[in-house]
Chain A
Amino acid sequence: MSTGPTDRPGAIDARPLRHPWRWVAVALIAVLVAMLISSFVTNPRWDFPFAFQIMQQRPVIEGLWKGTIFGTVSAMLLGIVVGLALSVMRLSDNPVLRGVAFVYTWFFRAIPRYVLLALLGIGVGFLYNEFRIGLPFGQQISHLLGLKSDLTFFGLNWNALSSTIWVGVIGLGLSEAAYMAEIARAGILSVDPGQREAAQALGMSSGKSMRRIVLPQAMRVIVPPTGNETIAMVKDTSLLIAIPVITELYYQAYQFGQRSFKIMPGFVAATLWYLIVCSILMVGQYYLERYYGRGFGRTTARKNKRFARPGGAGGA
Chain B
Amino acid sequence: MSSLPTGVSTRHTGEPLVRALNVIKAFHGAEVLKGIDFDVHPGEVVCLLGPSGSGKTTFLRCINQLEKIDGGRIWVDGDLMGYDDRGGTLHQLSDKAIAAQRCEIGMVFQRFNLFPHMTALANVMEAPVRVRGEKKSDVRVRALGLLERVGLSDKADSYPAQLSGGEQQRVAISRALAMSPKLMLFDEPTSALDPELVGDVLAVMRELAAQGMTMIVVTHEMSFAREVADRVVFMDGGVVVESGHPKDVIDNPQHERTKLFLKRMRSHDDPDRPTVQDARSQG
Contacts and interface: CB of A to CB of B under 8 A. Distances in A.
B176 interface: yes
A217 interface: yes
Given A195-B113, A316-B199, A300 B99 contact: no
B236 interface: no
Interface stretch (A4-12, A64-72, A151-159, A304-312): A304-312
B200 A312 contact: yes
Contacts of B196: 314
B200 A309 contact: yes
A311 B202 CA distance: 12
Interface in A269-305: 292, 294-300, 302-303, 305
A194 B111 contact: yes
B195 A195 contact: no
A314 B199 contact: yes
Interface string B88-132: 000000011001101101110101011111110000001100111
B17 to A, nearest CB: 17
Contact of B200 (A195, A307, A311): A307
B163 to A, nearest CB: 8
Contacts of B224: 315-316
A315 B126 contact: no
Interface of B: 64, 66, 95-96, 99-100, 102-103, 105-107, 109, 111, 113-119, 126-127, 130-132, 151-152, 154, 158-163, 172, 175-176, 179, 190, 195-196, 198-200, 202-204, 206-207, 221, 223-224, 227-228
A241 interface: no
A194 B113 contact: yes
A300 B159 CA distance: 9
Contacts of B227: 315
Contacts of B103: 202-203
Contacts of A192: 113
A311 to B, nearest CB: 8
Contact of B176 (A202, A205, A299, A315): A202
B200 A203 contact: no
Contacts of B126: 202, 212
B272 to A, nearest CB: 16
A303 B164 CA distance: 11
A295 B223 contact: no
A58 B117 CA distance: 45
B35 to A, nearest CB: 25
11 contacts: A195-B115, A200-B66, A201-B64, A201-B66, A208-B131, A295-B116, A307-B152, A312-B207, A314-B200, A315-B228, A316-B199
A213 B130 CA distance: 11
Contacts of A313: 199, 203
A263 interface: no
A297 B203 CA distance: 29
Nearest to A217: B117
A213 to B, nearest CB: 6
Contact of A217 (B105, B106, B116): B116
A198 interface: yes
A312 B106 CA distance: 23
B190 A316 contact: yes
A217 B221 CA distance: 33
Contact of A203 (B127, B203, B221): B127
B150 to A, nearest CB: 9
A130 interface: no
A217 B99 CA distance: 22
A194 B227 CA distance: 30
B96 A198 contact: no
Q: How large is the interface on A (under 10, 10 to 19, 20 to 34, 35 or more residues)?
A: 35 or more
Given A309-B200, A316-B224, A295 B118 contact: yes
A307 B196 CA distance: 12
Contacts of B172: 198
A135 to B, nearest CB: 30
Contact of A212 (B130, B202, B207): B130
Contacts of B228: 315
Contact of B203 (A207, A212, A216, A309): A309
B195 A316 contact: yes
B247 to A, nearest CB: 16
A303 B151 CA distance: 14
B221 to A, nearest CB: 5
Given A194-B111, A194-B113, A202 B175 contact: yes
Contacts of B207: 312
Interface string A229-259: 0000000000000000000000000000000
Given A201-B64, A201-B105, A203-B103, A295 B159 contact: yes
Nearest to B224: A315
Given A201-B106, A315-B199, A316-B202, 19 more contacts: A194-B111, A198-B109, A202-B176, A203-B131, A207-B95, A208-B131, A212-B130, A294-B117, A294-B159, A295-B116, A295-B118, A295-B160, A296-B116, A299-B159, A309-B151, A312-B207, A315-B221, A315-B224, A316-B190
A204 interface: yes
Given A197-B113, A208-B131, A212-B130, A315 B206 contact: yes
B99 A213 contact: no
Given A294-B159, A295-B161, A315-B206, A204 B130 contact: yes
Interface string A104-126: 00000000000000000000000
